[in-house]
Structure 1
Amino acid sequence: MMNSKTKRYNLSDSTIRLVEEEDQFDFLCEGFDSPRARMSCGHVVTPMSLTKWCEQLLKQGKSRFVCGQSGCDAEWSYREVCKMALLTPEERKNFETTMALNAAARDPNTKFCPGCMTPVTRGSSSDLYVCCQVCSAKTGRSFGFCWQCLREWKGQQPRSDRCENDDCHNSALKTLRECPEVQIELTGGVKGCPSVRACPTCGSLIQHTGIGCKNMKCPQCKMSFCFGCLKTGSCCGLCPGGIAPRQTSIPVWDGRLFHMGIDNYSCVYSNRKRNACVLC
């Protein structure tokens, strides 16, 4: 059974360019026990040294694989990395999960195509159907996937709510719809309020425990808003329009205010600061 310590190129594999040269990615001089092979950029690796280099790139927050040798900025395709690093199924799963998280951290409008793992940028925030040009060219037919469930598209398009794959739903909207209420103190009394709100600026989900001030500062975009009425800026005391109803859509960040740190649909932040205003 192959594992990361015994990965070796097969000498009879004619699709791999084996060479009698030094492993250029064995930075710690570990002497990996495998024949050497040449990457598409010309530099020489072993399966284990390539795996470790790519893991290091992922730890640095990268979602694409670049050679990194002096004077070489060649980008390797994920397909090439899988082949030349002899990635195991478990390694592929870890790589793909980290790649997706890293890509979302840098650009919330980019996700990986489920067919080829190529980064694809969403054209419209109101359409869940996304066409992958790489898969379309490879298959000879238009290949589209769902931005929401990340599976090959089923059903008519365009659509903004869901595709026709089973269990395709927006988990953020479900959270906003089903979250319990908390009691928010207002001038003149205490009123019930949804315990989770989407930041009116960037869409990040934020949870209020019912303890402390209703004024929030979004941990993502750093913009301040009132958890009760959802007005931006501080709103101490009475909310002029009362408590805003449950949100039925997620605000989309326009990219002008800050560099987003994570996918704004994947995390719920909590205001756990006791008896203090988060703006103070």
Structure 2
Amino acid sequence: MDDINGSSKILEEPIVGSSIMEMKKHLAQTIGISFHYVDIVCLEDGVIYENDRHINGISRPLQVMVGNPQRKIPRYLVTPEPDMIYQDVNDEELRLKMSCGHAITPDNLFGHMKHTLMSEVKPSVNCLTKNCGAEWSMQEIIKKADMTEDERIFFEWKISFNLINQEVADTSECPFCGSFCQRQQNTLPTRCSICTRKNGTACDFCWSCKSPWIVNHKCSNRELEAIQKMLNDAPLKTIDMSHIEGVPSKRMCPGCQCLIEHRDACKTMTCTKCKTVFCFVCLKVAIKGQLQCGSYNQKCEVAPVQRVL
């Protein structure tokens, strides 16, 4: 693999397997690391492809982002303060001090940054400590999360991508692939360029209710129906660290009912809107920061698709 114009690495070799996951496992074996630290991305669109996505329809050569399996902390940054997000009592991972004075592990810092930039059109990452909310610079995050060059390039671009799109009022998330789309001239039918390129045919959805666009389309109970459709159609996935299969990739927060998509890592989820901590698998809310169903890497029962209507 070579470096291309200082961006994420590219793959020149033949495509292996039919899914992103199969390709990641092949690449990880070639590089000599776990597939958890390999992502196939699109720098142009600021997208990290889902594991269950078919490899067909993705432009070549593939762009590969290799992560850091061992994020280190300089000794002078180590702090005994508790992690601002969550840390298992048996986990001895060291915490570092952010510029606002609050503590977080390097892995949690990277995960929080990734979730913030990939799940919302936000150009900034903020402290999650109650009554703080301090904004951290990308330079601080890159250093303290011990990010690789691949990660730095992708997420510096992503934060700029989000800034540009945040300034445009008419942007909305595609209900099919999760990428952000911009509509033209206040029209209801909205085209997703990523889905259109992938499927080889025009892929339009309704701006208001997020349903697939058809001739003479009418919205009815549109917001709730749109959310229910996204929940029903969400692909099932395997939660990496606990190896729990058949988990819907989209859930509603038990606290505020906003829609959340699980990207990677463990089953512990913190809602960025209301800060509710819960298990993405069984949907039980954490008590005093600890999951009711056991540690982040323990199995639990998969809750069914939630009902909105």
Instruction: Give me the TM-score of the superposition, normalised by structure 2.
Output: 0.34
Instruction: Give me the TM-score of the superposition, normalised by structure 1.
Output: 0.37
